[in-house]
A and B are shown apart, each in its own frame.
Chain A
Amino acid sequence: MPKLIKNGRVIDDAAQFLVLDEGQGPEALTLPDGPLFVPLAVWQAHRGALSGRAGLGVWLDSNENVEELDGNLDSISAIALNFPKFTDGRAYSAAALLRSRYGFKGEIRAIGEVLRDQFFFMQRCGFDAIQPKAGKYSDTQLEEALTSLKDFSTPYQAAIDQPEPLFRRVPRAA
């Protein structure tokens, strides 16, 4: 079963991702059972039908704006943000916006080209679930990679995981 880092631990994860083929529209649709992430376009096209579904996830590509979900976050239990390339940093802003401005409390999952040296930044921006591509890391490597979540113990600036900057958290002597 695919692995997932959730709240700092490696767990098995059964969620499936619906991916539209090139040129395939979101209209016709047979959804598999079980935990599922659908693309934004599918969610938008079938909002009514999908909103009753338990454990529904929506995944966004890096060029899709979280604003498209605004106002409808209650019916979504998880949002996955895709990193088409690990150097594409848009999802960091997307996650931070979901947590702060839009108050999203459900799971935010990093998918796509997700590498351990990005874990620290992801966690700081509000990702609580991190899913490297299947086969990217062996089980042992993934366990080892958990240390990357803790690369820095006392960051300077406020972010989602630590909403106060260092200068408000601790008294610093001049």
Chain B
Amino acid sequence: MYRYDPYDQKIVDERVAQFRDQTRRYLAGELTDDEFRPLRLQNGLYIQRHAPMLRIAVPYGLLSSTQVRKLAHIARSYDKGYAHITTRQNVQFNWPELKVVPEILGELAQVQMHAIQTSGACIRNITSDPFAGVAGDEYLDPRPWCEVLRQWSTFHPEFAFLPRKFKIAVNGAEQDRAVIQCHDIGLELKRNAAGEIGFRVLVGGGMGRTPIIGEEISDFVPWQHIITYNEAILRVYNRYGRRDNLYKARIKILVKALGVAEFKRQVEEEWAFGKDGANTLTEAEVARVAAHFTTPAYETLPGEDAGYAGQRAANTAFAAWARRNVLAHKVPGYAIVVLSLKNPTTAPGDITAEQLDLVAEWADAYSFGEVRATHEQNLVLADVKQADLFALWEKARATGLATPTFGLLTDIICCPGGDFCALANAKSIPIANAIQARFDDLDYLYDIGDIELNISGCMNSCGHHHVGHIGILGVDKNGEEWYQVSLGGSQGNDTSIGKVIGRSFAAAEMPDVISKIIDVYRAQRQNGERFIDTVRRTGLDPFKLGVYGEAALKERKQHA
């Protein structure tokens, strides 16, 4: 993974000093709340229900074991002993005190970490495929490009006060695992017909209160020009994006208002000036960065480890975990392991300091010292020998990190919601836990198969409910917490936005509602099709009928 050189380190150290002074001036009354807000936000610091919340950048989800240990240390020393993995591959602490945040940033800088631009109206942390470099369907490794873009976007002077936040995601494989269609800019790294490297560029996607799927603005920008092309997009957005209404300030609204053709025309006109300018990438720079992402020292192993097959045959619990949480690796004899953070007794994405320390230990022992965070709020050890899987599983199981449900109904994406977030309409974590408690039968979960259930506590959609096969959204009805259900959303190559099925539900009803939806699916599915395929084939009607009943539906029609 990328290691800082003295230049990278200096920028991060200078940031710590800068923020220390900003915090000092704020506490001394020299900065007003309004003036301090964007400064702290650009350091990932929110003021929340109970305490500030600090979001730490995990560039494209990659962590070294040293960094994971530092996170454990921070959780123990400055927080309540746990951390939270976010839906943009970052890490959040929910309880740090404002005055110690400069200390925390100082600690992070020691391990080449920071909280730069993890919030605020700027270019945010760049996200990517958690299986980069190890997935069999990869065209090209996105990580060097993510790092090049990270450096370019860090303290970009022209784009520090955009109309609104700006999120970029990069994917370089057949399957999109970075939700590129729901980002302000989504980049698909690929080769063109001539074999040259470049990017398909999508623009104007996003969730929030107006979910929109990004549209293609260029089918191929050669790699040399990706920075100047991004700068052209950002300049058009910075100049003409709406600033009069927070809810209409994202680039997606500008793209919709102009139409993608006109937006593209403006970008290309702007790009004509910037193209071939100083920010044009050089082969030397790309090679320098790419040299940090070389193939680890894999051993030459048989494709199927004999012991691994035997362990699966002998131990059904291990076999279940291997079936769901162990994924194919492009190198024979190796595997990708998903360490689940969806233990039904904890908040989705939460991990304790002790667990973090253990994960660091396993990373060192089994996976070349690296860990990845996923936007689905799990951790990944990307390079585990099949022969080590059983030992790893036993350790993970002992500490609750081997829930064998990756990609199943209870592998829920869930925002912090009303328990932590000041913007929430409703709590989301207890809903996730209640659904996990209801669906605790593994065989049943396996029978339901691949499905995504996502929960957000409000319209901001931090929990990606729009792209959940089942989406749950917290709504406020006369000061009470209610939940709206949508079906048919999807992330990945065939991204779609879910549709609301009808009136919302009280918290206590939610497990039953999900049960009814699953019952409809099991009754309707044909030839083992996935949940989402059934919804797409049948439409919402059978599900509405199953959830609300005939009488209720009729009554609704009459009222409508």
| Chain A interface residues toward B at CB < 8 A | 65, 86-90, 92-94, 96, 100-101, 115, 117-118, 120-122, 124-125, 141, 151-159, 163-168, 170, 172-174
Closest 3 CB pairs of A and B: A89-B161, A124-B157, A167-B285
Distance, CA A101 to CA B231, complexed state (A) = 14
24 contacts between A and B (CB under 8 A): A65-B239, A87-B38, A87-B121, A89-B159, A90-B243, A92-B159, A92-B238, A117-B39, A121-B155, A121-B157, A121-B158, A121-B161, A122-B157, A125-B157, A151-B18, A152-B14, A155-B157, A156-B152, A157-B157, A158-B279, A164-B278, A165-B278, A166-B7, A174-B291
Q: For B14, what are the chain A residues with a Cβ–Cβ distance below 8 Å? A: 151-153
Which chain B residues lie closer than 8 Å to A124 at the CB level? 157-158
Most buried by B among A88, A141, A164, A174: A174
Interface residues as binary, B260-288 with A (CB distance below 8 Å gives 1, 0 otherwise): 00000000000001000111001011011
Q: Which residues 225-260 of B have a CB within 8 angstroms of A?
A: 227, 235, 238-239, 243
Judge whether B243 and A88 touch: CB under 8 Å. yes
| B11 in the interface (beta carbon within 8 A) | yes
Chain A residues in 8 Å Cβ range of B279: 157-158, 165
Are A101's CB and B239's CB within 8 A? no
B50 within 8 A of A: no
**Chain B hits for A120, CB < 8 A:** 155, 157
Shortest CB–CB separation between residue B312 and chain A, in angstroms?
41
Closest chain B residue to A96, Cβ basis: B158
| Chain B residues with CB below 8 A from A164, complex form | 278
Q: A65-B239, A87-B121 are in contact. List 19 more A-B contacts (CB 8 A).
A: A88-B161, A89-B160, A117-B22, A120-B155, A120-B157, A121-B155, A121-B158, A124-B158, A152-B15, A156-B11, A158-B279, A159-B157, A163-B278, A165-B279, A166-B7, A166-B151, A167-B288, A170-B7, A174-B291
- In the assembly, what is the distance between CA of A154 and CA of B18, in Å? 14
Q: CB distance A154 to B10 under 8 Å?
A: yes
Bound-state Cα–Cα, A73 to B121, Å: 32
Query: Is B161's CB under 8 angstroms from A92's CB?
Result: yes
Beta-carbon contacts under 8 Å, B80-111 to A: none
Q: Which residues of B contact A118 (CB under 8 A)?
A: 160-161
B238 touches A90 (CB 8 A): yes
B162 at the binding interface (Cβ < 8 Å): yes
Residue on A with the closest CB to B239? A93
Which residues of B sit under 8 angstroms from A100, Cβ to Cβ?
A: 273
Point out the residue from A94, A115, A158 that lies within 8 Å of B35, measured CB to CB: A115
A141-B161 in contact (CB<8A):
no
Q: How far is the CB of A54 from chain B (nearest CB, A)?
A: 32
Contact of B158 among A125, A141, A172 (CB under 8 A): A125
Q: Does B537 lie at the interface of the complex (its beta carbon under 8 Å from any beta carbon of A)?
A: no
Find chain B residues with CB under 8 A from A157 CB.
151-152, 156-157, 227, 279
Contact A87:B161 (CB < 8 A) given known A117-B22, A156-B152, A174-B291: yes
Residue contact B278 to A89, C-beta cutoff 8 Å: no
Give the Cβ gap from B341 to chain A, nearest Cβ, in Å: 33
Bound-state Cα–Cα, A96 to B159, Å: 11
Q: Is the CB of B273 within 8 A of A101?
A: yes
A81 to B: closest C-beta gap in Å: 12
Closest to B156 in A: A157
- Contacts from B to A (Cβ < 8 Å): 5, 7, 10-11, 14-15, 18, 22, 30, 35, 38-39, 121, 151-152, 154-162, 227, 235, 238-239, 243, 273, 277-279, 282, 284-285, 287-288, 291-292
**Which B residue's beta carbon lies closest to that of A124?**
B157
Name the B residues within 8 Å of A151 (CB-CB): 14, 18
**Nearest Cβ in chain B — how far from A57, in angstroms?**
22
Shortest Cβ gap from A145 to chain B (Å): 10
B18 contacts A158, CB within 8 Å? no
A115 to B26, CA, bound (A): 13
Instruction: Closest A residue to B14 by CB, please name it.
Output: A152
- Is there contact, CB below 8 Å, between B158 and A92? yes
Whole-angstrom distance between the alpha carbons of A122 and B158 in the complex? 8
Shortest CB distance B420–A (Å): 25
B407 to chain A, nearest CB (A): 37
Instruction: Point out the residue from B39, B154, B288 that lies within 8 Å of A172, measured CB to CB.
Output: B288
User: Are the CB atoms of B158 and A93 closer together than 8 Å?
Assistant: yes
Which residues of the other chain, B, contact A170 by a CB distance below 8 angstroms? 7
B273–A153 CB distance below 8 A: no
Minimal Cβ-Cβ distance residue in A for B148: A167
The answer to whether B11 touches A158, judged by C-beta atoms less than 8 angstroms apart, is no
B contact residues around A92 at 8 Å (CB): 157-161, 238
Say yes or no: A141-B35 contact (C-beta < 8 A), given A155-B155, A174-B292: no
CB nearest neighbor in A for B7: A154
CB distance from A164 to the nearest CB of B (A): 5
A167 touching B282, Cβ below 8 Å: yes
Query: Cβ of B238: which chain A residues have Cβ within 8 Å of it?
Result: 89-90, 92-93
The residues of B that contact A153 with a CB separation of less than 8 Å are: 10, 14
Determine the residue in chain A with the shortest Cβ distance to B151. A156
Contact assessment for B11 and A90 in the assembled complex, using a CB-CB cutoff below 8 Å: no
Bound CA span A3–B154, Å? 31
Shortest CB–CB separation between residue A11 and chain B, in angstroms?
A: 23
Measured CB to CB, the closest approach of chain B to A34, in angstroms, equals 32
Q: Specify which chain A residues have a CB less than 8 angstroms from the CB of B10 in the assembled complex.
A: 153-154
Cross-chain contact of B278 among A90, A158, A174 (Cβ < 8 A)? A158
How far apart sit A114 and B108, CA to CA, in the bound complex (Å)?
31
- In the bound assembly, the distance between CA atoms of A170 and B10 in angstroms comes to 14
Query: Which one, A152, A168, A173, contacts B282 given CB within 8 A?
Result: A168
A87 to B122 CA separation, bound complex (whole angstroms): 11
Considering the chains assembled together, what is the distance between the CA atoms of A88 and B242 in angstroms? 11
Per the bound structure, the CA–CA distance linking A96 and B157 in Å amounts to: 10
Identity of the chain A residue whose Cβ is nearest the Cβ of B121 in the assembled complex: A87
A152 to B227, CA, bound (A): 21
CA–CA, A101 to B243, complex, Å?
Answer: 25
Minimal beta-carbon separation of A157 from chain B (angstroms): 5
Write out the residue numbers on chain A whose beta carbons fall within 8 Å of the beta carbon of B5: 172-173
Task: Name the one of A121, A156, A163, A172 contacting B160, with C-beta atoms under 8 angstroms.
Answer: A121
Which partner residue on chain B sits nearest A167 by CB separation? Answer: B285
- Closest Cβ of chain A: how far from B117's Cβ, in Å? 12
What chain A residues lie within 8 Å of B22 (beta carbons)?
117
Q: CA–CA, A165 to B284, complex, Å?
A: 13
